[in-house]
Structure 1
Amino acid sequence: MDAQPSTGDPTTTHRRTIGPYVPVRRLGEGGMGIVYLARDPAGRQVALKVMRPELAAQEEFRARFRKEAEAAKRVARFCTAPLLDAGRDGDRHYLVTEYVDGPDLSSVIDAQGPLSGSNLDALAVGVATALAAIHEAGIVHRDLKPSNILLSPLGPRVIDFGVAHLADTLAERTGTVIGTPSYMSPEQARGEPVTSAADVFAWGCVVAYAATGRPPFGSGPAPEVLYRVAHHVPYLTGMDERLRALVEQALDKDPARRPSAQRLLDRLLGREEVAVEAATRIVSDIWATSAEPTRRAGTAPDGADGSGGAAPDEAGAGRTGGRRGRRWVPVAAAGGALVVAAAVLVLALRPFGGSTPQKGPLATRDVTFNGSSLHVAIDAVRRRGTSVSVQLTVTLKDGNRWWPRDLFGAEMSGAALVDPPSGSKFMPASKDGGCLCSALPTQFFHPGDVLPLYATYTNVPEGLEEIGFDAPGFGLFAGLPVSPE
């Protein structure tokens, strides 16, 4: 099993084989171990994660390793990099997963900016599909983040779900909180038990990041980020409105109020009990990439996603070379089969129109309410047929802490569109027994907090080019231009 040290490429391994696998080059390194691109006995490429010897020497770690490996093998092979094998070679324990040829999400966003259109839709559905499969196997990922999502030619693939509880051994040994602050749930930040609801919260963070290019709770020193996660509302300005309502639900501070991963999938595709296999086919159909390999010898991912993590970031199994290793360009879905599949997502995801952000707000106003100074910005008014959506943000500038429900109640059902010439008013549309508008959070706001809101209206005459918006406490914003989708 042992081999002579290699010469030449510094990223190659110092052993010719680990178990039956032949390492080719090192892909990355994290707190749990080293990840190699390797070949199996049939010559196929795989990702080989070798655990650190000091961890493998612990009996508790070895017991967890066996348990987690068996659980991970049960995960359905949909929108994931499945675990293929787990074994031991001397004092080395290793996991083998499918090798995914594609960059991670954080690399793509860093290089090219936010996703949009069908690729954003496919990402949201694909990651939800992966979580549904992972949770069905009784596993909680615990560290879902952009660097653990690889963008393959067939769609997004979630990785590193096979080391969920193995990370606990590292946490107990080092006293470190496992997770990445910008994508951790409030209960994780508080050190409470972690359930599948934490993965749903991370899904909301990931989708918001993919849509806007920034984590919804910002980045920076871990304590600051974790405080915002636990106490602040997410900053979702500029997010595609087709997804924002569902993301807001996923980011609820109370894990009991978040939808399950399966419910996310059902809502995204507008069906009940969507099978992960069917969802995977839809994702593959609408996912389109054009990649030009430009790999350079020796490049490897650094395992960091730039979010100020509080724990060692596990180098993801299955990813290609480093951030310069591949140029990934999303392109629009086209052709009969792709158009049909994309239409399924568009109809399900778009309760109202508009995916192109406005440059600057349409109108702004400062108001005072119960001693709190609020800045209100109408960000967009967009039309699709006779449906009109209004997007706005409210910022607490200074003064007392603010309870948004004092203004609106539980939701924005009292905010009206107004046709000034006729005096006609339009109230938010209803859906599933509720308002097709933002639900108001159940926590106080503090100076600097930002609340994104939306409301959707139907049966608005198509001839109206300008409209008024009247919200409780904010007054009437008249003469707002209505933009077509």
Structure 2
Amino acid sequence: MNVDASVPPVRTIGPYTLVRRLGEGGMGMVYLANDASGRRVALKVMRPELATQADFQRRFQKEAEAARRVARFCTAPVLDAGVDNGQPYLVTEYVEGPDLAAVVEAQGPMTGANLEALAVGVATALVAIHQADVIHRDLKPSNILLSPLGPRVIDFGIAQLADTLATQSVIGTPAYMSPEHATGERVTAASDVFAWAGIIAYAGTGRSPFGVGGAPELLYRVVHNAPRLDGLDERLRPLVERALDKDPARRPTAQQLLDRLLGRERVTIETATEVVNDIWSPVEGPATEIAAGALRMRRQRKWWLAATAVLAAVAVAAVLLLVVLRPGGVFDQTKDGPLAQRAVSGADYRLDVQIDSLRRAGKTVTVKWSVKYEPADPAGVWRPGNVFGKSGNGPFQFSTDGVVLIDTANGRRHATANQNGCLCSPLYDKEWKKGETAFFYNTYVDVPETAVTVDVDIPTLGHFDSLPIEAP
């Protein structure tokens, strides 16, 4: 008898019978399954090691219950959740159709009514999600399925569970993360709106507005660079630009997106869903064929991406990976003042160094710090300085993991590096002006939640002792 390798030896989980594997993600496997009545559902089995984590078990039911409150308009609603033999699982409505990423990769950018329906449909889903006090946190093309009736958003709220995993560093997909998400700030509904804009730009142009590359490079572009939107439908571009504002307070809400897209006030999610159903044309080709076509294209690009990664690694090793952030940006010091500060003096300059904030998001901790450059003698001769320059050009040098976080409870050292590279702001060759302040950040992963105070060691600039970590 032939055994289907895509189905695990245990063919039932809870009251559900597994049919075949649909895919795999960071949280676990997804299967096509049948419930007791024979209805098809999508069943996500969480990774086995999660069962041993008390914090995950505690949050799983809470997040699942929140997700079940989300209305089914333009979403794949959560139907059930449970634990079978120590394995947590989540059940959602099964959506027949390929994901947006596969369609764009296999068939190219979307245009016309379908692009407009996608914009309205995903905005509708976000309104439904936010009305239930849920934040998606990982909205991306692969989390949007294109059903015969229109787009359906999946996996809402599940990303919040990922920060209980010790292996996770940045929770989300870098190309579609908001600036505040990328830098460890509090994630709100505005972050989902930012992701909506990135997805519509991707669907309408065939590329992410912040390009491709490793996580540190993408996160830096998200925080610093203007999005690339050339080629996007001019009717959608102004709204997409507003939703990609670096300041979350200036972005429209999901409801405002919906109102602007349909030219009405307070459009209901029921009405918006009907509009999507009316103007949507089903994507041509079975989902499996479209996914196979996208996979072939990914494999064809694999050698190029590998070569790019090698070149990027060489470039990163050749220059310093701490880049000065623009003054007045998202890394401004906190309103309550710095956690710690000190002055560092040289022959003709003085540096005022501050630790501005130290915040936790799960097991990820972000330090924001700043340096103000002043002449050593305010009355003396001022000469512009190249403080953090290329090798040999400045008095201070840093390695990619130069800024270290030290858990004062157990002495464990954390560096700003993981499998994707340094999670910090890269530093270019910059000549500072008198009195100018530059802002920096460094993000550390897998910092135990028992660590409530830490030391921050910045090479040549100082060691800051016993700083409290601000809880989320």
- Using the size of structure 2 for normalisation, the TM-score is 0.61
**Residue 27 of structure 1 contacts residue 301 of structure 1 at CA under 8 Å; is this kept in 2?**
no
Q: Deviations over 1:10-31 (max 9, x none)?
A: 1112112100000011111122
How far, CA to CA, are the matches of 2:292 and 2:222 in structure 1? 34
Q: Does 1:244 align with 2:237?
A: yes
Indicate how the Cα distance of structure 1 residues 169 and 198 shifts in structure 2: closer, same or farther if over 3 A, else same: same
Aligned to 2:217: 224
Matching of residue 195 in structure 1 with residue 188 in structure 2: yes
Q: Which residue of 2 aligns with 1:18?
A: 13
Is the alpha carbon distance of 1:85 and 1:299 closer, same or farther for their aligned partners in structure 2, counting shifts above 3 Å? Answer: farther
Secondary structure in structure 1 of the residue aligned to 2:212: coil
Letter of the structure 2 residue corresponding to residue 232 of structure 1: N
Give, as a single letter, the amino acid of the residue that structure 1 aligns with 2:15: P
SS of the residue 2:12 aligns to:
coil
Aligned residues: CA RMSD = 2.5
Q: Which amino acid in the other structure matches residue 267 of structure 2?
A: V
**1:270 aligned to 263, 274, 279, which one?**
263
Question: Is residue 176 from structure 1 mapped to residue 142 from structure 2 by the alignment?
Answer: no
CA–CA distance in 2 between the matches of 1:290 and 1:194?
A: 33
Counterpart for residue 214 of structure 1: 207
Partner of 1:155: 150
Q: CA deviation at 1:164?
A: 3.1
Match of 1:97 in 2: 92
* Native 8 Å contact 1:139 1:164 kept in 2: no
Cα shift at 1:58: 1.1
SS at match of 2:208: coil
Secondary structure of the 1:157 match is strand
1:289: Cα distance to partner?
Answer: 1.6
Give how far 1:243 is off: 0.3
Aligned counterpart for 2:65 among listed residues 54, 70, 91: 70
Structure 1 290/197 Cα, relative in aligned 2: closer, same or farther at 3 Å?
A: closer
Summarize the alignment of residues 279-318 of structure 1 with structure 2, pairs less than 5 Å apart. Answer: 279-289=272-282, 291-293=284-286, 295=288
Comparing 38-47 with 9-18, which one deviates more in the overlay?
Answer: 9-18
Local SS of the residue matching 1:63? helix
Selected match of 1:86 from 75, 81, 89: 81
Are 2:18 and 2:33, in contact at CA under 8 Å, matched by a contact in 1? yes
Name the aligned partner's letter for residue 89 of structure 2: Y
Q: Show structure 2 runs of 5+ residues with no match.
A: 306-429, 432-472
Match of 1:44 among 33, 39, 49: 39
AA aligned opposite 1:205: G
Deviation at 1:291, TM superposition (A): 3.5
User: Could you give the per-residue CA deviations for residues 199-234 of structure 1, whole angstroms, max 9, x where no partner exists?
Assistant: 000000000000100000101111111111100100
Residues 188, 294 of structure 1: alpha-carbon distance in 2 compared, 3 angstrom cutoff? closer
Residue-by-residue CA offset, 1:168-195 (whole Å, 9 max, x unaligned):
212xx12510111110100111111111
Q: SS of the counterpart of 1:241? A: coil
Identity across aligned pairs (percent)?
Answer: 67
The alpha-carbon deviation at position 290 of structure 1 amounts to 5.0
Partner of 1:120: 115
Instruction: Measure how far apart 1:108 and its partner are.
Output: 0.6
**What amino acid sits opposite 2:192 in the alignment?**
D
Secondary structure in structure 1 of the residue aligned to 2:151: strand
Correspondences of 1:320-339 after superposition (within 5 Å): none
Does the C-alpha gap of structure 1 residues 97 and 162 become closer, same or farther in structure 2, counting only changes over 3 Å?
A: farther
Residue 102 (structure 2) pairs with residue 107 (structure 1): yes
Contact 2:105 2:294 in 1 (8 A): no
Spell out, residue by residue over 1:335-380, the C-alpha distance to the aligned partner (whole angstroms, 9 max, x if none): xxxxxxxxxxxxxxxxxxxxxxxxxxxxxxxxxxxxxxxxxxxxxx
1:145 corresponds to which residue? Answer: 140
Equivalence for 1:261: 254
Query: Which amino acid letter does the alignment assign opposite residue 150 of structure 1?
Result: L
Does the 8 Å contact 1:27/1:300 carry over to 2? Answer: no
Deviations 1:144-174 (A, max 9, x none): 000000000000000001413211212xx12
Distance 1:227 1:274, change over 3 A: same
Query: 1:253-278 CA deviation, whole Å, 9 max, x = no partner?
Result: 00000001011001111111111011
Unaligned runs of 5+ in 1: 1-5, 309-399, 402-485
**Who is 1:466 aligned against?**
none
Shift of 1:90: 1.5
